[in-house]
Chains A and B, each alone.
Chain A
Amino acid sequence: MNALDFSLILLVSSLAAGLLGALSGLGGGVVIVPLLTILFHVDIHYAIGASLVSVIATSSGAAAAYVREGFSNIRVGMFLEIATTLGALVGAWLTTRVPTHAIGIIFGLVLLYSAYTALKQHQDIITQRPDPLAMRLRLKGTLPTGPDTHEDYVAQRVPAGFSLMSLAGILSGLLGIGSGAVKVIAMDQAMRLPFKVSTTTSNFMIGVTAAASAGLYLRSGYLAPALAMPVMLGVLVGSLIGSRLLVRVHVRTLKIVFAVIIVVLGIEMIVSSLRGAL
């Protein structure tokens, strides 16, 4: 196969990944690595590099919209980014040390877990209890809940949230994913922030976290230009189209479809790793 055909195939598959990711809200980045390693037999390090690049592209593209809506909390995001970026450095370092089949198994498990959390129903537990640490760090805000109404919130259990964010960062650096799911859990479950705040803040944090490990990846030679090029462009275009179409689709159905795909890929990653075929 020559470079043109290969690039075109990658472009189209990445576009599909980005499209489905944006429509289901789960992010296309998470399927890039399985796609590249299982279908195209790309070494996992190159795959992770390409995936991380597409994560930065799509999240930075979408992030601007979220901040404008007034839901995301920049201070919360920035404070937690200390945890995620440090975690990302650790994760990127780990990726150079951990054997490929172990990365594959961890990746598969993360995929299965993402599918599970994507489908779980959710309930906001908003609290205004003035958690002392949160108050000192000003991790609080107001969520517009209607044309004239709003709801105040204060973050809770800051150390737990911080630790979970470090884990999100490590996974992002190790696997080349956005770790949006873990970030949302940290803010939503651990820190009791309103769901809309958690999801939008997570979205704008993802790009920064990915940039932290991307620098290391580039210096370690993990970014193959001819591979990253069609993947980045494909996922970017796919997710832009997807976010345009978002109003017209039934998100729940797509979430289920995407979750099924992720489960299949997750199992495949684990099986391939155990067989040493990754």
Chain B
Amino acid sequence: MLRTGVMLAAAIVLFGGILYLAHSHGPRPDYSHFNGEPVHLIAFSGIMHGVAALNPESIIMLGLLVLIATPVARVGMCIVGFLFERDHLYTAVSTIVLLILLYSLFFHK
């Protein structure tokens, strides 16, 4: 299941990448100074709007989000697995891990 998540993410990133390269012209972006990515590529709403508009960079970001979500989903599956085994200790342990992961994705800033 992990593998499908990664492959899906890679496919989205590849699609966005091809679009990006097809539409790019001029010199490549300068990464030598850190400015932080613009808001429309950081917030979920911004990313989804961009995807709807077929903006290449937003599509790549969506792929990256899917990639990050893959291990999170894996932890979710472990929770279900432990629940079925009636392993309450590890249901709790994996839930803690999941909460930490969700905090990083949603509640920061």
Tell me if A211 and B101 are in contact (CB < 8 A): yes
Q: Separation in Å of the A255 CB from the closest CB of chain B?
A: 25
Tell me if A208 and B75 are in contact (CB < 8 A): yes
Q: Separation in Å of the B87 CB from the closest CB of chain A?
A: 8
Any chain B CB within 8 A of the CB of A85? Answer: yes
Q: How far is the CA of A61 from the CA of B27 in the complex (A)?
A: 34
Which of A19-27, A108-116, A191-199, A227-235 lies at the interface? Answer: A227-235
Q: How far is the CA of A215 from the CA of B99 in the complex (A)?
A: 13
Q: Which residues of A contact B10 (CB under 8 A)?
A: 57, 232-233, 236
Tell which of A7, A42, A63, A138 touches B17, judged by Cβ atoms closer than 8 Å.
Answer: A7
Tell me if A225 and B31 are in contact (CB < 8 A): no
Who on chain A is nearest to B59 by CB? A225
Q: Separation in Å of the B64 CB from the closest CB of chain A?
A: 6
Chain B, interface SS category: helix
Q: Report the count of interface residues on A (CB-CB < 8 A).
A: 59
Q: Separation in Å of the B59 CB from the closest CB of chain A?
A: 8
Any chain A CB within 8 A of the CB of B54? Answer: no
Tell me if B72 and A211 are in contact (CB < 8 A): yes
Tell which of B13, B25, B34, B96 touches A43, judged by Cβ atoms closer than 8 Å.
Answer: B34
Q: How far is the CA of A163 from the CA of B104 in the complex (A)?
A: 21
Q: How far is the CA of A89 from the CA of B108 in the complex (A)?
A: 10
Which of A63, A79, A212 is the most central at the interface, judged by chain B CB atoms within 10 Å of its CB? A212
Q: Separation in Å of the A119 CB from the closest CB of chain B?
A: 30
Q: Which residues of A contact B104 (CB under 8 A)?
A: 85, 88-89, 92, 211-216
Tell me if A230 and B17 are in contact (CB < 8 A): yes
Any chain A CB within 8 A of the CB of B65? Answer: yes
Q: How far is the CA of A138 from the CA of B61 in the complex (A)?
A: 39
Tell which of A85, A137, A210, A227 touches B100, judged by Cβ atoms closer than 8 Å.
Answer: A85
Q: Separation in Å of the B93 CB from the closest CB of chain A?
A: 5
Q: How far is the CA of A3 from the CA of B27 in the complex (A)?
A: 6
> Please, what's the 1-or-0 string for B19-54, where 1 marks a CB less than 8 Å from any CB in chain A?
011001111110111111110011000000000000
> Measuring CB to CB, which residues of chain B are less than 8 angstroms from any residue of chain A?
1-3, 5-6, 9-10, 13-14, 16-17, 20-21, 24-29, 31-38, 41-42, 56-58, 60-61, 64-65, 67-72, 74-75, 78, 89-90, 93-94, 96-97, 100-101, 103-106, 108-109
18 contacts between A and B (CB under 8 A): A3-B21, A5-B28, A42-B32, A43-B31, A43-B33, A56-B6, A56-B70, A57-B6, A81-B97, A85-B104, A138-B89, A207-B71, A208-B101, A215-B105, A218-B65, A219-B105, A221-B37, A228-B13
Question: Which 4 A-B residue pairs are closest in the complex by CB-CB distance?
Answer: A221-B36, A215-B104, A225-B60, A215-B105
